[in-house]
A and B are shown apart, each in its own frame.
Chain A
Amino acid sequence: MGQGTATVVESTGPGRRTGAGAVETVGVALLLGFAGYAALFVAPNEFTMGLIQRIFYFHVPSAWTGFVAFTITLVASIAYLRGRNPKWDWLAVSAAEIGVAFLSVVLITGPIWAKPVWGIWWTWDARLTSTFVLWVLYVSYALLRTLVDEPERRAVVSAVFGIFAAVDIPLVYFSIWLFRTQHPQPVMGAGGSLDPRMRNVLLLCWAALLGVMLLLLRQRYRLEALRYEVEELRMEAARRGDSA
């Protein structure tokens, strides 16, 4: 963002500061570096899979972070419909797009792991398929937003779609799980057999990725706020042009 545009925004709008705060950014970068170090050097080597297993420290937390993002979309969508404050809409779209980004990481790191371990890039297994369906669902959400021009209409229809999509997530997972499963079973919680050191590194990586998500969310939210402001100004200009 150039200096010139920043000063124009300074005077009026909601997106006053366009750069993320330096302290938080450095903090998250350090955390991420530390998490990466821990994933590569601190966590013990997995017995059967070897080094490739370490991708798991970013694959699994990315999925969890994506779910957190979609939950934010759901909550923000409901809040928007209840109160009609455009800020909730900005939050909903920001979280949805960031969720898609994290799910893309999941869908890319998954096959990288699967090729050496399973011998195939992709299989139509329950969790893979569900995650893929979920990714398509939120890509359609983003697409829907580009196809509705009027800001308030766009906010309303995408909020309703956002709620439908979020409600669909457990159904997608349950139905495809019922259909078939060969994915490694969940490693956390009941029945998990994860080494405590592995678990700690995993949680550390998740914390780092949540930090990345929050930074991205703030950045994307400000972008949406600026877009809204530009749209408002355009309409205002058009109104003045008409009356003149």
Chain B
Amino acid sequence: MALLRPTAILLGKELRSEFRTRELLTTTLVFVLTVLVLFSFTFDPTTAESRRFGPGLLWLALLFAGSLMLHPSFAREQANDTLAALRMAPIEPVSILASKILANLCFLLVAELFLLPVFAALYNLRLAPILGRLFLVLLLGTLALSTVGTVFSAISSQARMRELLLPLLLLPLLTPALIASTEATRGLLEDPPALSAPWTGLLAGFNIIFLTVTWLFGEYLLEE
């Protein structure tokens, strides 16, 4: 397909430039850890309470982290005006967006991989029996965050006060995804664990809808 190869090549470039510095990964990790620890101070939860609050804390922390960390996605192309070079390439402009969405998805998922055991230990949760289903929820929730986050980082990179603007644009829009991910995760932490069909469905629907909107209208953000 005409879209697949350029996207794969650009994804390789995104991953290489990130893993050379690991900036996004380390800052996300440290940020989420800090927030999780601070939460436990402010609420001092018991085991039963952490079961109730834990998923919300985790997703809120991830969302805040995403709204801060996705900003460089487009902003760092500006330093040497490399976006102009990408635009000149004979490829569909959507593949630039697609590669960045996938790259951000990878970074956030790797960060979550490190965070999960810490989260489980800090909040006294047993994640081993639900790992497969939890991964599905994480994947869908993180895809929602990285899709909208990447598109909005293309928007905010063209504005003043961009670091501040991205969370303002992103957080209200992601409200449905936040609720659905939190509720789906909470269902998995209940006894017995259950994967909630309506919430997982809503998450999947959210992704399908916004991937389609991105595919239809995203390229307008890349033009000069």
Interface set of A (CB-CB < 8 Å, partner B): 81, 133, 136-137, 140, 143-144, 147-149, 153, 156-157, 159-161, 163-165, 167-168, 171-172, 174-176, 178-179
Contact pick for A143, options B151, B165, B221, CB 8 Å? B165
Q: Are B176 and A174 in contact (CB under 8 A)?
A: yes
Q: Which residue of B lies closest to A158 (CB)?
A: B155
19 of the cross-chain contacts (CB-CB < 8 Å) are: A136-B172, A143-B165, A143-B168, A144-B155, A144-B159, A144-B169, A147-B159, A148-B160, A156-B221, A156-B223, A157-B158, A157-B159, A160-B151, A160-B217, A163-B217, A168-B173, A168-B176, A171-B209, A175-B180
Contact pick for A140, options B148, B169, B175, B218, CB 8 Å? B169
Q: Are A174 and B202 in contact (CB under 8 A)?
A: yes
Q: Which residue of A lies closest to B167 (CB)?
A: A140
Question: Known pairs A163-B213, A164-B151, A164-B210. 15 more at Cβ < 8 A?
Answer: A147-B159, A147-B161, A153-B158, A156-B221, A157-B158, A160-B151, A160-B221, A161-B155, A164-B148, A164-B173, A168-B176, A171-B202, A171-B206, A171-B209, A174-B176
Chain A proximity of B32: nearest CB distance (Å): 23
**A147-B213 contact given A164-B151, A175-B176, CB 8 Å threshold:** no
Q: Give the secondary structure class of B's interface.
A: helix
Which B residues touch A174, using CB under 8 A? 176, 202
Q: Are B172 and A137 in contact (CB under 8 A)?
A: yes
**A148-B159 contact given A81-B217, A160-B218, A164-B148, CB 8 Å threshold:** yes
Which B residues touch A148, using CB under 8 A? 158-160
Which B residues touch A159, using CB under 8 A? 217, 220
Q: Are B179 and A179 in contact (CB under 8 A)?
A: yes
Chain A proximity of B192: nearest CB distance (Å): 22
Interface set of B (CB-CB < 8 Å, partner A): 148, 151-152, 155, 158-161, 165, 168-169, 172-173, 175-176, 179-180, 183, 198-199, 202, 205-206, 209-210, 213, 217-218, 220-221, 223
Chain B proximity of A149: nearest CB distance (Å): 7
Chain B proximity of A44: nearest CB distance (Å): 38
Chain B proximity of A182: nearest CB distance (Å): 17
Which B residues touch A164, using CB under 8 A? 148, 151-152, 173, 210, 213
Q: Are A175 and B175 in contact (CB under 8 A)?
A: yes
Q: CA–CA, A178 to B206, complex, Å?
A: 14
Which A residues touch B183, using CB under 8 A? 179
Contact pick for A160, options B155, B165, B180, CB 8 Å? B155
Q: CA–CA, A164 to B180, complex, Å?
A: 18
Which A residues touch B158, using CB under 8 A? 148, 153, 157
**A147-B180 contact given A81-B220, A160-B151, A163-B213, CB 8 Å threshold:** no
Which A residues touch B221, using CB under 8 A? 156-157, 160
Chain B proximity of A176: nearest CB distance (Å): 7
Q: Are B172 and A171 in contact (CB under 8 A)?
A: no
Which A residues touch B169, using CB under 8 A? 140, 144, 161
Q: CA–CA, A144 to B155, complex, Å?
A: 9
Which B residues touch A153, using CB under 8 A? 158
Chain B proximity of A20: nearest CB distance (Å): 32
